[in-house]
Structure 1
């Protein structure tokens, strides 16, 4: 009934008592409307189970491949470092071996040549007669025009050489003076004339051999025996 009157009043413009008793509902000005809740869109997977399994298997294979490559690179780097260290060690060992061999050869050569230098006086004594005869045959013939000369030698060598000098200076007119000197080695001799001298000195030969040896060897690693001046 009230609704009928309300509808009728709104049509006829007449107000009834009930119109003044109706509760007034306040409406706030500018009240914001509640936002509507948006539900998330559900995306249905487009991959099948077989495709997901294949992708997983491929990812595992790629991971293992990367691991193998990294392991190979690490092993290669370690191998290169080991080879470099080995080459350095081999080079150092080779240098040490070369120095050791060089020093050993120097010592061996020094020992041999030192023995040779020490043996020169004995060799000169053993071959003194033959060497002096050869020296006379080379030196005396060009001196046939020299008026005088002297021969200084060890007393034990005079008799053998005197027999040789006669035929070499026969009819030359050269006067020969013999001087015996016991201080000379058996293989030493000094032939003196007006303008010169011809010498054979065993000690000088030994010194010359020793100097030649020292010029070829390292004195710090080689010790040579001093040539002896045995008479």
Structure 2
């Protein structure tokens, strides 16, 4: 809600309008993004395990039949609370023996051209952001400094936006996944004042 209000104030239009009119977004990715940016979620902690079991089965069927673009997937991802989604994804793992994120990643479907692959990638990011944000942001940091050059905007956005939220968890996830400290890798890929600012936000070099 707050982001949507600020977006409208800054750009004199809604984020929904810009997503809907963007020529860079293909279907079915555009449809799913519209559902996500316009959704309202229950903010409480209540979890209904009967719903979790039912929707885990629906997700399994959609992934198996390569229907990530279906209305049921959009409804589940865009409207369920974070605790409910965590319960659903855990039920999925219990039932299928695999992680829903991995199965979504391998299910390039729903639409022609690159739309299906884009959709799978976006859904994977959405699932991680909603249920395990530290995993998503650890991946983003890694991607931003991997290879030649640095995606400075991406790197800055993650470190600044998570500094007072869950940066310690992101750092722990990064170390567990990649066997290196975020601060060490950032220091090796940036320079001068920019590096010093990022390291200060990260709490110094480990």
Task: Decide: shared fold, TM above 0.5.
Answer: no
Per the shorter chain, which TM-score range? under 0.3
Task: Identify which of structures 1 and 2 has the higher relative contact order when contacts are C-alpha pairs closer than 8 Å and 6+ apart.
Answer: 1
TM-score (norm 1): 0.23
TM-score (norm 2): 0.25
Q: Greater helix share, 1 or 2?
A: 2
Q: Which one has a bigger Cα radius of gyration?
A: 1
Q: Greater strand share, 1 or 2?
A: 1
